[in-house]
Chains A and B, each alone.
Chain A
Amino acid sequence: MVEVDLNKENEEEQSFSDPEDFADDVSDEELVPDILAQEPRLADLENNCVVIFGIPVVGSDRLSKLTAVLGKVFDKVGGNYKLHVPQNAEGGSLGMALLYFDERESAERCTASLDSFAFDKNHTFSVVSFKEAKLLNAPDPKWQPPAKEPYNDVGDMWWWMQNPRCLDQFAVLCERHVDGGNSHNATFRSVLSVYWHKKNNEPELAGDAQNCERPDWTTDMFMWSPHGSYLATMFQQGVALWAGPKFQRVQKFAHQDVTWFEFSKAETYLVTYAPPTNMKTWWECEDDCLRIWDVRTGELKSVFSPLQLCGQKKLNMWPFFKWSSDEKYFACLKPPEKDKLDRNKKVDGIWIFETETFKLSQGTSVPFENIRQIEWSPTSPIIAYYCECADQTPAEFGLLEMPSRIKLRTGRVYNVSDAQMFWQPSGKRLCVYTQRYKKKDKTRDGEIKYVGGTQGHLEIFEMDKKEISLMNLPLPEKEPFIHFGWEPNGDKFCVLTGNQSKAMPHVYRIDHNTHAPKLMSKLDSGVQYNEVSWSPSGQWLAILASRSTGGNVMFVDTTMSEAKRSNVVEHPGFTQSYWDPTGRYFTTCCTLRGRHSADLGYRVYTFQGRELLRKNVDRLVQFSWRPRPPVKLSEQKLKEVKKNLKTISNRFKREDDEEKNKASQEVIEKRRKIMNAFEVIRKRIFAEINTQQDTKIQLRGKKALEVETKEEDLVEETITVALSTEKTAVAADEE
């Protein structure tokens, strides 16, 4: 009974179930937070899952093989993952795969490392996270492949090389008055013109005026491409290239507010730069301040930001990139970076990029401590570098070969305060100038002071010698180094040393037998020269004093065993000077950016320094010869020309004479016309004046009447008087 009772009681009390309308006020989070935390969420799934497009499409028979190969690739990413390859109805792959990782980090690493991974020749992965994949839209059904751009034919790009008289072109940029007036505050418009240079004649426009002389052709400056094929001009929207006989536009490169641009060595690439728009914050700027373009296709190949390349927003020099001669590489200095282990040590080096991928060659920089300067060889992929000396380490200069990254030859020197590198244009030699001090002191202000004077040395690397020989040439003491120049294709060089009042050019020749350069001549000058400029064809050089007021240029002939001064000319205040690409002519010019009081304009001389043309151009901005491509005659042809030099030169001479006669005929014709027009005016005025004859007689009286009638006799008489006057004067002196 009791039990029954108990059961009864139990039955009643055991009814714990909530009433039907009971609502529980304790949430699952409070009850089982640990379990809920493990609950899979959609976001996690989406974040941990990546979609890989671009895997090969295979049939069902090869699916397992594909999965195995894919697995090998994905294993490298690391982390646990599940691979799912969706299949079509036949059991083949669809060309995409899903990867599910355990951790989000692995998924992200996978996206970063496998995107644009080349699986094989035909398949490149494109990887996105599942979350992003959800956002992808279906392709527009109306989408069509872009139409082919018709080839923009501007004519022969090397038409100017085929001038029957082998004339060279040059371009001149100047500012002209808009109204042609002469008032003080006139506005100016820039005009760019391309001319043929004709010896002994006025320059002639290289075609129709509408094609070759255009106002507002550029906003700031222009540039010929290194081989002369293109004329590059600047606009606010970017850079445009012009070519062909009519200077039609070949290509444009959009870059708003471009300030600088530069071609690679063989004009395959163009680098443009526009400063960042936001200069307020130093840590952020556009990624594409520097753009590299393919000149022929107009394609944007790569972009860089100054922040990424030099750690600051302003580029500290231009051209920024140094291009190798074969255009396979371009390099720049890497900004110093703090070493991970040693806080005080800074790591710097060279960044060498490949043009195949526009990425760092071998993925890393080439480390060089205290690197200051790099310079590519003009003919081979070799970099010459100079590392400054630090307190403990000597300065180092040497040659680095690419792509092997082998140091071919190095030199180490202590106590170097300054160095400069000069490659011979033929790539045969490299000269490194070093300035060495005896003792270094720091003044109280922290300035470095060199005690005991400094001495200059030239180190010459000879590339064609076995193991690259290195020779040293100490420069005279107490004569500071000013400038250095290689003969482009020969064995000579000129070094300029001296002080402010007087600079002394020394011409040396490198003899193959002896180990030291031989001094050919020391030219006495007495003028403050500051630059050496060799003719592109060698043998002749110009030594310039572009900073002195006199503006002297000394032409030197080195064809003989002794270098001789051929002529000295003066162009007061000249700012720039250029050899023409053939080395036949030399130009000095005085541009707007120079001194203000000087006469602006350009002058052309022969390579011996005889003035051919003097052209004053008000507000001249820029002058530039059109370069020639490095196309050389074959050896055979050269021999042939050398053999028949006499007959060929006679032919040229005859042609020159004909041209001269023709030109003078034209001039005479023109002058005759002008003279005839003038005579008409003169006759008209004389007719009017002659009516005054009577008045004249009246005014001067009888004497005048006699003068007018017997004019000739009287004039003669007066001359006799003049002579007799002198005689008496001498007599008076003697007394």
Chain B
Amino acid sequence: MRPLSLKGHERALTRVRFNREGDLLFSAAKDKEPCIWYTENGERLGTYEGHGGAVWDIDVTWDTTHMCSAAADNSVKLWDCETGACLSTIQSQTPARSISLSFSGNLIAYTTLKMTKNQSMLQVRDTRDENQMSNANSDPLFTTSFDQESAYTCLFTSLDEKVTVGLEKGQLLQFDLRKNDGPIYENTTTHKTFQITDLQLSPDGAFILSSCRDKTAALLDAVSLEHVKHYKSERPVNSACASPIRDHICLGGGEDAMQVTQTSVSAGHFEAKLYHMVFEEEFARFKGHFGPINSMAWHPSGTSIATGGEDGYVRIQEFDDEYLQFKYDF
């Protein structure tokens, strides 16, 4: 049956990711156990068991050997993709909110939330260093903290050198791991007031797609964080991804989970919306979820999109011929 609707999680999805080849799909939800699926038929291969709280974020190395996860049980774990064994656990002071792997797959960047006296932190650790990976008190490769706000999302932007972070009030900061004296680039104008929900790199590595609760998503220059394009939606945007083959992007989100019960499904805007990357125009949308979309990923082949919703479903939507033949006149 197409589109595939995968029911493997008991609670709201937090992240869906494809591996580099696109044959495997990884998903994480608030129910402690990330899952791995065959993209082709939606069969579940297995789960990664070990976390004691909601898993907020996961990432997979480029060669699909390792998977890492950030969870609300104040830990970050590194897993063996194939066996599902937990290789190492790093304890954090507060819940780990987001995670990203570097180009080489050797470095893990993760952020933790601000809680009481503990500040929100961004840390980068080297998976090859036993000490860094097991001992929470050992010095990480890189660490920085944020005064007032929590960092909700992080992303390795340029190979193994730079990490971009999205904060609670819409600021975007980029750090160079070799210089530990504050962000090298800052963008406070693209998004204001509202939380950055997701950062994704365009497949060619040239742009960052930032999605924000201010009902917009933006395209940023990955090198300098400069604002390039802006996409307006009617509802908070929880995730945005870019097509690997065409100048298209896709936004997902919807009415806040809290308010969903007060509105009808059609008013919730739970559809995924396709925009032209350059013209900033919405040209198509597809339905499926009956709650907001929390995370989405474009298949490396460019012919399907995986979405994870607040409703607990992962959907793999394959594009029809109409889309594949659709061309913008210019």
Contact = CB atoms under 8 A, between A and B. Distances in A.
B103 A182 contact: no
A599 to B, nearest CB: 5
B91 to A, nearest CB: 28
Contacts of B206: 682, 685-686, 689
A723 B206 CA distance: 30
B159 A696 contact: yes
Given A685-B206, A696-B103, A726-B38, A184 B193 contact: yes
Contacts of B23: 718, 721-722, 725
B330 A671 contact: yes
Contacts of A181: 192
A682 B106 CA distance: 28
Contact of B40 (A572, A699, A725): A725
Given A182-B192, A686-B206, A699-B103, A573 B267 contact: yes
Contact of A729 (B43, B158, B279): B43
A664 B39 CA distance: 40
A678 B104 CA distance: 30
Contacts of B262: 597
Contact of A726 (B40, B102, B263, B329): B40
Nearest to B277: A678
Contact of A692 (B21, B159, B193, B267): B159
Given A696-B103, A699-B103, A182 B43 contact: no
A619 to B, nearest CB: 14
B158 A550 contact: no
Contacts of B85: none
B261 to A, nearest CB: 11
Contacts of B192: 181-183
Contacts of B207: 685
Interface in B84-137: 102-106
Contacts of B193: 182-184
Q: How large is the interface on A (under 10, 10 to 19, 20 to 34, 35 or more residues)?
A: 35 or more
A144 interface: no
Nearest to A570: B266
Contacts of A721: 21, 23
Contact of A700 (B38, B43, B104, B329): B104
Interface stretch (B72-80, B179-187, B220-228): B220-228
A572 B43 contact: no
B263 A668 contact: no
Nearest to A678: B278
Given A572-B264, A685-B223, A700-B104, 12 more contacts: A550-B264, A597-B267, A598-B267, A668-B329, A678-B228, A686-B204, A699-B103, A722-B21, A722-B40, A725-B23, A726-B41, A729-B38
A549 interface: yes
Contact of B104 (A182, A692, A699, A730): A699
B40 to A, nearest CB: 4
B267 A599 contact: yes
A599 B232 CA distance: 13
Given A549-B264, A692-B158, A700-B104, A723 B222 contact: no
Interface string B129-158: 000000000000000000000000000001
22 contacts: A549-B264, A550-B266, A572-B263, A573-B267, A664-B329, A667-B329, A671-B328, A671-B330, A674-B279, A678-B228, A682-B206, A685-B222, A689-B222, A692-B159, A699-B104, A699-B160, A700-B62, A700-B105, A722-B40, A725-B23, A725-B40, A729-B43
A646 interface: no
Interface string B189-213: 0001100000000001111000000
A549 to B, nearest CB: 4
Contacts of A730: 41
B278 A668 contact: no
A719 B279 contact: no
A633 B21 CA distance: 69
B40 A668 contact: no
A700 B62 CA distance: 9
The 3 A-B pairs at the shortest CB distance, nearest first, are namely A699-B104, A572-B267, A671-B330
Contacts of B301: 719
Contacts of B43: 729
Interface in B212-239: 214, 221-223, 228-229, 234
A28 B250 CA distance: 111
| A interface secondary structure, majority | helix
Given A721-B21, A722-B40, A675 B159 contact: no
Interface in A658-695: 664, 667-668, 671-672, 674-675, 678, 681-682, 685-686, 688-689, 692, 695
Contacts of A719: 21, 301
A718 B40 contact: no
Contact of A722 (B39, B229, B328, B329): B39
Contacts of B325: none
Nearest to B329: A668
Interface in A693-717: 695-696, 699-700, 703-704
A671 B222 contact: no
B223 to A, nearest CB: 5
A695 B158 CA distance: 11
A24 to B, nearest CB: 100
A616 interface: yes
B83 interface: no
A572 B104 CA distance: 48
B63 interface: yes
Interface string A629-660: 00000000000000000000000000000000
Interface string A504-538: 00000000000000000000000000000000000
A672 B269 CA distance: 31
Interface string B10-53: 00000000000111000000000000001111010000000000
A186 to B, nearest CB: 10
B33 to A, nearest CB: 21
A650 to B, nearest CB: 27
Given A570-B266, A696-B103, A681 B159 contact: no
A183 B22 CA distance: 40
Contact of A674 (B38, B103, B278, B329): B278
A570 B204 CA distance: 40
B21 A718 contact: yes
Nearest to B278: A678
Given A674-B278, A685-B221, A725-B40, A597 B263 contact: yes
Tell which of A599, A686, A725 has the most Cβ of chain B within 10 Å. Answer: A725
Nearest to B233: A616
Contacts of A704: 62
Contacts of A572: 263-264, 266-267
B40 A695 contact: no
B160 to A, nearest CB: 6
A713 to B, nearest CB: 14
A602 to B, nearest CB: 14
A13 B266 CA distance: 127
Contacts of B328: 671
A667 B329 CA distance: 9
Interface string B278-320: 1100000000000000000000010000000000000000000
Contacts of B266: 550, 570, 572
A381 B330 CA distance: 61
Contacts of B234: 599, 616
A723 B40 contact: yes
A722 B38 CA distance: 8
Nearest to B102: A699
B262 to A, nearest CB: 7
B228 A549 contact: no
A669 to B, nearest CB: 9
Nearest to B328: A671
Contacts of A718: 21-23
Interface string A342-361: 00000000000000000000
B20 to A, nearest CB: 8
Given A597-B262, A685-B222, A721-B21, A703 B267 contact: no
